Structure 1
């Protein structure tokens, strides 16, 4: 009796397992649009670029970022993909996975940006081949931002940039078809240049655009600042640039990400009222447009040596991450900024040092 029952059940169990496996295999992969929604607000970081950034990095820093409301980091990398550098990148990615922060690796490609020759084009492709093979199909939320801020040298070399993007995307996706990849236009601070990007056919689910707006704040141009007190004309000009990106997204079916913006230099000074107003406006407009963004940059707001946020800049950072935005029906300009909420998980430099010394 038992033997018969076992014999009958075995095929049934096998069928159930097969059906389960089929259902799992049929589950849709994460799309670029879904990925962009998860990015939220992040920050540009030098954890793998400068000697100081590499030396000061501790996994607990990622926990501090997550506690502050940051949900992705744009990890800038320079230099050859040596074994030591790849191991360090894996350490960063694993820390991000541990604390629920999405990592995006972005390559500086300094030599290529100075001289977009055939040899330097190949160097960029080879760099990403090494990184793509190293991570394989692991860390599915890890994104690759192919060239950190294309330079002025590339303004007249659209064909070269398109070649590098095409070769690199095809190579990476041969290794991992689901890897999320970002590409930026020649004029990385101009959403107007998005239309010059040559995007692979049917790549809407895996290729995103990266562009900037005010990467170092509203700097003077032709004797004028694009932001003073937030006049109606200044706000309209910024909205027009964001709308350019929105229209490009609607036309192409691709989504985009602002890889960095800033209210200006603030390390040595407390933020001005003008900077606070600009930060609030920019953050609210990008959130309204549902475009994820990264804040530029980590050393402005976080003291890696102390393992703590810079107190004078926390109100500004809070505004950039979670602004109090006007709601439909509000009178223009009628709002109050809430004081930053105390960070319950924040530790003192002494406690952080103690935790770091006992961390595995």
Structure 2
């Protein structure tokens, strides 16, 4: 018996989807998993037979009785994901675990028609790893019937970087697309906003500065003061705010790995995790940020930073991912 995990390649170096799957795979490999590489490509250029041949090559190291963790979506389309899962089901006594990063029908309104196919795909697994308790409720309401469930709660951000104690100042750091998150263009706060993004869009507020996209280690070194911001707004075809109540944010883990306390929108899926561990502050609207920071003392900030340092160590070492994978394998083999 061997354990395997899928991992995507071929996307942009700044693709959060690929970065997250690569990170999970590296953690899994550290505890004995074998990697199954999946390259992102336009599958509609292939016939179903050609796709099956590609999948045969990907699964060359898989045998009967193995355990395979499939990170979904593969971003090659649900047709590819269905063919992959169905191929795995052809192995004798195979145990399939679906590790959900995103649920495409919930991300994009015009893809909701794929919800039933997505649930049917999940139901073929023996075990599911979901991002949050709220996502689990949503999927069960849509028809998920898998009994073996584990909850990720927070992503890791594995790195050798060791942050220094952050500096308290009225500064907001935001790592994300200025196009996908339009509040960047309409920043009205007096608090400075530092944006790390490939997109540079003019802002009416001189408090906004663009730092460009940075490789991971460089970004972590720049996050040395103020707060990290996790914020979602609804945009065309994407109900980002509702989705943030179900998924978990990779940028949250980036800030915590860098040692920064955070400010997050109320209702975020891991709000209780943030408040119970004193990792930052919750805001109902961006208009509250100036007052939140104005009423925060140096002592309160450093107390949050000390708690962040403890949780950040777990995140940088991959302990949340190790735990959810080990718990899942243990449940599969002992029930």
TM-score band, normalised by the shorter chain? 0.3 to 0.5
TM-score normalised over the length of structure 2: 0.38
Give the structure with the larger strand fraction: 2
Rg comparison, structure with higher value? 1
